[in-house]
Amino acid sequence: MAQKTVKKKKALFVTVEGLEGSGKSSLIKTLEGLIKSRKLSCKIYREPGTTRVGEKIRKILLDKNNSEISPHTELLLYLAARTQLIEEKLKKDINIYDVIICDRFFDSTLVYQGYALGLGKAAERGVDIFSLGFVPDITFFLDVDPKLGLSRLKGRDRIESRPLSFHNRLREGYLQLAKINSSRIKIINARASLGEVSTAARKLLEGYLENR
């Protein structure tokens, strides 16, 4: 008699986006706690990074001494780090874990390189090609006043050191992207207290976990 096999569902793919100093790390810890309290398995990635090669690319990208990196080179390096993460880890992990949380994903490229650096179409095409078909199920965008976010930082890397006008454009870009993708991207007011931010995100995530 044929054995009945239960095929595991693909992991819920959650991404967290935000401006500098918006509190992504704290939110990710909260979400991880919620997922684990439901006895679900969870894997956390960060972008750029997570893989050995991705972490090396991250160092190059964030090093203030690398001021000569051109906008297109920057775009290609972010795409390269992402593709490495997808091919080395995500493709496999999506069939193993219940939930995968990624600290930033392709929305960062669309906003930072596409919108704020002005690479538009090149960023869109790069994202289309090199995300290899992976699209988050839900994206939390932590919305904070750029000035307030920057004031929370201890030091500033190459990207964080850009002028306030760049960070203001980032916020604009994220809000536009969230409008276009309103069913996927959820805006969370990150000016609120940590407790309020956690409650808002937990409620949204719980809905997704229940509907799985």
- List interacting residues with ligand TMP (CB under 6 A): 20, 46-48, 78, 103-104, 108-109, 112-113, 159-160
> Taking CB positions, which residue lies at the least distance from ligand TMP?
112
Distance in angstroms (rounded) separating the CA atoms of residues 42 and 100: 6
Indicate the residue among 20 and 98 with the shorter CB distance to ligand TMP: 20
By CB neighbour count within 10 A (0-12 exposed, 13-18 middle, 19+ buried), where does 70 fall?
A: exposed
> Do 85 and 54 contact (CB within 8 A), yes or no?
yes
C-beta separation of 113 from 119 below 8 A: yes
Contact between residue 35 and residue 97 where contact means Cβ atoms under 8 Å apart:
no
Q: How far is the CB of 24 from ligand TMP (least distance, A)?
A: 6
Q: CB within 8 A of 151, min separation 6: which ones?
A: 21
The nearest distance, CB 5 to ligand TMP, in angstroms, is 37
Nearer to ligand TMP, 97 or 105 (CB): 105
Nearest distance from residue 32's CB to ligand TMP, in Å?
16
20/143 with CB nearer ligand TMP: 20
| Shortest spacing between CB 91 and ligand TMP, in angstroms | 18
Q: Nearer Cβ to ligand TMP, position 98 or 107?
A: 107
Q: Which is nearer to ligand TMP, 53 or 159 (CB)?
A: 159
Least distance from ligand TMP to the Cβ atom of residue 45, Å: 11
Distance between CA atoms of residues 104 and 139, nearest Å: 9
**Residue 13 and residue 137 in contact, taking contact as beta carbons nearer than 8 Å:** yes
